[in-house]
Amino acid sequence: MSKQRKFEKVRVFYEKRATILKALAHPVRLFIIDELAKKEKCVCELRDLVGSDISTVSKHLLLLKNAGLVKDRKQGLQVFYSLQVSCVLKFFDCVEAVIGAEQQRYQATRRKAA
């Protein structure tokens, strides 16, 4: 019983982590993060870049904000969003490494098959 169901005891901890990662786990949101890393942008600018309904973009931004990844600043009619946590960018290097390794394995398999 000692090691069993260890997860139950740490569930809340991992749920918090998962919230952050869920916020990142969407192509549009990852794109938005990269854009905001360059420069703060208003919702309408992001809508033009992304090309979907502004309400959709707004929801993506709310999700990122609730996760603590971006912050917003109101200026007149517009709301400008900017990146709150720059360390996420470093993580993408790791993600790229995973993708690269994956492709290498795929090509190795193809060579073997040929």
Partner DNA sequence: GGCTTATTTTACCAAATAGCCAAATAAGCT
Partner DNA sequence: AGCTTATTTGGCTATTTGGTAAAATAAGCC
Q: Are 58 and 71 in contact (CB under 8 A)?
A: no
Scanning residues 74 to 93, which ones bind a second copy (CB under 8 A)?
Answer: 84-85, 87-88, 90-93
Residue identified by tokens 């998962």 is 18
Cα–Cα distance for residue pair 8/67, rounded to 1 Å: 23
Q: Cβ of residue 19: shortest distance to DNA, in angstroms?
A: 8
Q: Would you call 79 helix, strand, or coil by DSSP?
A: strand
111 binds a second copy (CB under 8 A): no
Show the binding pattern over residues 33-52: x = contacts a second copy (CB under 8 A), - = does not.
Answer: ---------------xxxx-
Cα–Cα distance for residue pair 114/102, rounded to 1 Å: 19
**Which residues contact a second copy by CB under 8 A?**
3-8, 10-11, 14-18, 20-22, 24-28, 30-31, 48-51, 67-69, 84-85, 87-88, 90-99, 101-102, 105
